[in-house]
Chains A and B, each alone.
Chain A
Amino acid sequence: MLALLKYNLLSLWVRRTTTLATTFGIALVVFVLGASQMLSTGIRQTIVSAGNADQAIVLEHDARTEEASRMDQTAAGLVAAAPGVKRNAAGQVMVTRESVAHLMLQSVVDASRFSTLQVRGVSANVFELRPEAHIIAGRAIQPGTDEALVGKAVLGRYPGLRIGERVEFSSSTKPTVVGVFEAAGSVYESEIWADFETVRRGFLFFANLSSLTVQLDSANALAGFGAPLVADLQTGLSVASERAYYEKASQGLPDVIGILGIVETLIFSIGAVLGAMITMHASVSQRSPEIGVLRALGFGQPQILFSFVVESAALGLAGALIGAAACLFTPLLDFRCINFATGQEVAFRFVPGWSSLGLAILAGTAVGAIGGLVPAIRAAFVDPVQAMRA
C-alpha cells in the first residue's frame, strides 16, 4: 500500500507543470479564504481590545456611539457618586470624562481620499483609565492647553498629524500636536486625542460631554453601579461594560468581510474542484497502462481508488500550504477601513490564527480530494487487460 501511495505522489512530481497549474488555483482559494478570515479576526480584535470588562462606559441613553452621545455636566457628578466606582491610591474616584467628535480629513497619501477620524477630548487622568495607551514620541498634553496627541496608526497620514504641526478642528481651534501614542494595537491608535475643552470648543459641544468611562471595583460591580444611573430617567443615561460597548461596535464590518470572502471562496472552490478534476482525469487516462500494471500486480480496486484520492488530496494540500504561506504575508499590508458601527476610520491588521488558517488549509485539501474522486473511481475501474494492451 505504501508503495502505491509513493507511486501516486511521485507521479505528481513527474507531471509538475500540470500539477503546478492546479496547485496555483487551489492556493488562491486558500489564500482568499484564509486572508478574509484573518482580517475578520483582526478587526474584531482591534475594536474589542479597546474595551475592558472591569470598566463601564456611560452614554446618553439612546446613543449608540460615543460620538453621537451628548450628556450634560450633571451626569459626571451622578456617576462619580455611584456605588462600585474604584478609587486610586490618592483616594480619587477613577472616572474620566471625554468629548468625542468626528473630523473629516483629506489623506496626505492619496488626495482622492477623505477619511473620517475620531477625535477624543481627554481629561488629565486618561492614561490612568486607559493603561494600554502610552506615549512613544514627544510628550503628553498639558491639561487646559490647545495641544493634541496622535495615534501611531494615523501619524503623518493626514494634514497636521505630525509633532509640531497643527490640526484644524475648526476655523478658530487648531491644536498643536505634541506627541504620539500607541495603545496595544487597539482602535485608539487610529484616533486623535486633544484636551477635553479643546474638543468641546472645536466641535461645538457647548456644556455637553460624550462619555464617562469608569474603573469599577470589579467586573461584578457593573450591575450595582449601573442600576441607579439608568433608573434616573431625568438625566437619561445608559450604562454598559466597556467590553460590551466595543463588542457591539465590532459588529457589521467583520461580518461583511467574512461573507464576501466566503462567497468568493465558494464560487472559486467549485472552479478549483473542476480544475483538479480535469488534471486528475487527464492523469488517469494517460496512466491507464500503468494502472493496468498495478491491478495486475494485485492491488485491488478500493486500494487504487483510495490512492488516487490521496494523490489528489496531496495536490490540494500542496496548494493549501502555498496559499496559507501567502496568507502569512498579509499582516504586512496596510488596511484602513471605516467601522460601520461608529463611522470612524480605523487601521486594521490581519491576524493569523490557527482557526482561520486551519480552516483554509482544510478547505484546500478538501477541494483536491473532491476533485479527485470521480477520476479515482475511473482509475479503479480500469480493466487491466485492456489497459496494458494499449
Chain B
Amino acid sequence: MTVLTVAVMLAAFIFPRALVEAQQERIRQTPNNRVNVRPKLGWTATLPLGDADQIRQMPGVQYAAASRMIGLRLPGKDKVRFASRATEMEQYLPMMEELEAPAEQKQAFLADERGAFVTQTLATEQGWKLGDRVVFESEAFPGQWEVAIAGICRSLREGFAERQVWLHYRFFDRSLPKEAQGRVHWVSTEIFEANQGGHIAKLIDAHFDAAPDPTSSLADDVRVQAEIGNFSAILTALDTVSYLVLAVVMSIIGNTLAMNLRERTHEYGVMRAIGFGSHQLGLLVLAEAALLGLLGAALGIGLSYPLFEGILSHALQDAMDFPPIVIHRQVAWLAVALGMGLSMLAAAVPIYRVAQLRVTDALRRLG
C-alpha cells in the first residue's frame, strides 16, 4: 500500500512537471537561426507576397518562405481540426529540416503543384496514403480544392506542426478572387548565422518601415520564449506544486519506515543479538527505502503514461483545444531518481534510531 501511495504521489508530481518540462523542451528545440516576419498591424493583417522576395535579397538571409493561413476543413467533418497553410514550399522545405520525410516524397511534392504535404498524425487519423485524392473546403474562402497527398512528414520538433496541411502557395493563390490574391500572413526565414536573429529582424523591420505594410520581425527562439513567458506564472505555480508534492512523498515514506521500524524493533534486536552490526542494519533499512522508492516510481510512471498522455490529454484537447500532454523521458527518469533519492533521505531518521537501538531494550519489547 505504501508503494501505491508513493506511486500516486509521484504521479501527482509527474503531471505538473510534464507540463513545465514540455514548455522548456519547446524552447530548447526551437532553432536559433530563424526569423519570423509578420505584419505590424496584427495577426489578421497581411503583407504583399513581394516582401518575401525582398527579404530573400537581404544580406544574411538564406531562405525566405511566405505563408498564408487558409483555414482548410474537410467537408462534412467539422470536428477534425488541423492547421493549414499555403506556403512557398520550394523555399520552405529546404529550411525546415525538422520536417522529416523521404527525399523522393519531398521532390515529388515540389514537382506537383496540385500536391499536398501533410503530417503523419493527420494522415494516419484520416487514413490518407500517398497519391490519395482529398477534397478540402476553406473557412475563409468559397470553393473546393482537390489535391493529391504527395508527401507525409513527421515533425522532429515537439509540439510543432502536429496536425498540419501545406499546399503550394501559387496553386492556392490562383484560385482566390482577384482582390485577395498575392497576400501572405507571415514570412519564415532562415539566416546564415545562428543567434543573429535579433539583428536581422531589426534590419528587416527598418527596410519595411516606410512601406504601406510595415513588418514586425522576431527571431523564432525569442518568439517562442515570449509566448511561453506569457504563461510563466502558471508554469511557476505548477513547478512549485511539483516540489511541494515531493516533500509530501518524503514525509510519507519516512513515516512508513518509522512505523515499520517500531513494529519490528524486536526483530532488529534479534538481528543485532545474532551478530549483525548496526551499519548492516542501517544498510538494510536504506535498501528497503530505495526499493520502496523504486517500486513506487515504476508504478507511478506506469500509471502516468496511460492516464495523462492518454485519457487526460484527449479530454483536455477535446474540451478546450489544450495542447497534447507529453511526458518526456527525462521527467520519468527524474521521478525514479527522486523517488529513490528521497526515500533514502527519508530513511535517515529511522536509520539513526536503529543505530541507537540497544539490543537489550529491543529484545525486551514485545513488538
Q: Point out residues on A near B: beta carbons under 8 Å.
A: 17-18, 20-22, 24-25, 28, 31-32, 35, 67-68, 102, 104, 107, 112-116, 171, 203-204, 252, 255-257, 259-260, 263-264, 267-268, 270-271, 274-275, 277-279, 281-282, 286, 335-338, 345
Contact = CB atoms under 8 A, between A and B. Distances in A.
A113 B214 contact: no
A274 B4 contact: yes
Contact of B252 (A31, A67, A278): A278
Given A271-B8, A279-B255, A252 B15 contact: no
Contacts of B233: 335-337
Interface in B296-345: 312, 316, 319-320, 322
Interface string B255-271: 11011001100000000
Given A22-B255, A25-B251, A267 B230 contact: no
Given A113-B232, A114-B226, A338-B230, A264 B241 contact: yes
B1 interface: yes
A102 B230 CA distance: 14
B325 to A, nearest CB: 10
A21 B320 contact: no
Contacts, number: 120
A337 B230 contact: yes
A267 B258 contact: no
A24 B252 CA distance: 9
A31 B244 CA distance: 10
B5 to A, nearest CB: 4
Interface in B42-59: 42-44
A255 B258 CA distance: 41
A160 B252 CA distance: 50
Given A68-B44, A259-B316, A268-B12, A338 B214 contact: no
Given A25-B251, A102-B42, A115-B229, A260 B312 contact: no
A156 to B, nearest CB: 18
B44 to A, nearest CB: 6
B8 A278 contact: no
Contacts of A115: 226, 229-230
Contacts of B251: 20-21, 24-25
B234 interface: yes
B8 A267 contact: yes
Given A21-B251, A264-B241, A278 B209 contact: no
Q: Which 9 A-B pairs have the closest CB atoms?
A: A114-B226, A338-B230, A271-B8, A274-B5, A21-B255, A113-B229, A21-B251, A271-B9, A268-B12
B214 A28 contact: no
B225 interface: yes
B96 interface: no
